[in-house]
Amino acid sequence: MEKRQSGSARRQQIVDAALAILNEQGVHRLTAAEIAARVGISDGTIFRHFPNKEAIVQAAIDSFEALLFAGFPPADPDPLARLRTFFIGRLALLREHPAIFQLAFTDRLAEAAGQEGADRMRAIVLRQFAFVRHCLVEAQERGDVGADLAPETLVWTVIGMLRGVSMVLQQGVIGPELISGESVWQNLETLLRRSAVPRGVPQR
């Protein structure tokens, strides 16, 4: 319960608390009192740092976006290598900021932030989708990935893999050992590469 933090430090504490609450307890528990309790200040003080609750969630989306798009997009020339860098980066995010990672597969941030926040969240999702899609189309053109497949379905495979990891983390659902290391990426890359029809080998 340290007093008189500098403004920006407090702001970040508040934003982090909001993200943690949203991830752990959901939209309906994101209250000024709950945030204040986590930060260790009194509830009225929240509004010395933000004009209202929505502004907190907007700032949380800022924070979310900054972490999601740090070093984005990767620059590798090979499309699957680029995708790999992205994917591995996401798994790193999972370890360092699990709340952020998990909130990416949820609409809690969007719901808490009103219409404007929902629009921003959609844009964030689309930006990632577009990146993944671009990698995959390029890989298709190179023949690394099956060119006869709709790129969207490949995108969904990639995103679905990340979401699977998120659910493992959240629920301890399947095998948590899969999270560490790069085995998930290996599985994904194998799946994608094999979708390219080997020349001369007839497919069913």
Q: Decide: is 164 part of the binding site for its own copies (CB under 8 A).
A: yes
The residue range among 52-60, 72-80, 91-99, 101-109 that interacts with its own copies, by the rule CB under 8 A, is: 101-109
Considering the complex, state which of residue 42 and residue 183 has its C-beta at the smaller distance from DNA. 42
**Helices (runs of H) and strands (runs of E) counted in the chain:** 10, 0
**Judged by CB under 8 A, which of 67, 81, 88, 125 binds its own copies?**
125
> Cα(83)–Cα(74) distance, rounded to whole angstroms?
8
Residue number with CB closer to DNA (6 or 171):
6
| DSSP calls for 20-79 | HHHHHH-GGG--HHHHHHHHTS-GGGHHHH-SSHHHHHHHHHHHHHHHHTTT-S---SSH
Footprint of its own copies on 37-96 (CB under 8 A):
none
Q: Is there a contact between 63 and 104 (Cβ–Cβ < 8 Å)?
A: no
Tokens standing for 88?
A: 């591995």
**Which residues of the shown chain bind its own copies in the complex (CB under 8 A)?**
26-28, 106-108, 111-112, 122, 125-126, 129, 146, 148-150, 152-161, 163-165, 167-168, 171, 173-175, 178, 183-184, 187-188, 190-191, 193-195, 197-198, 201, 203-204
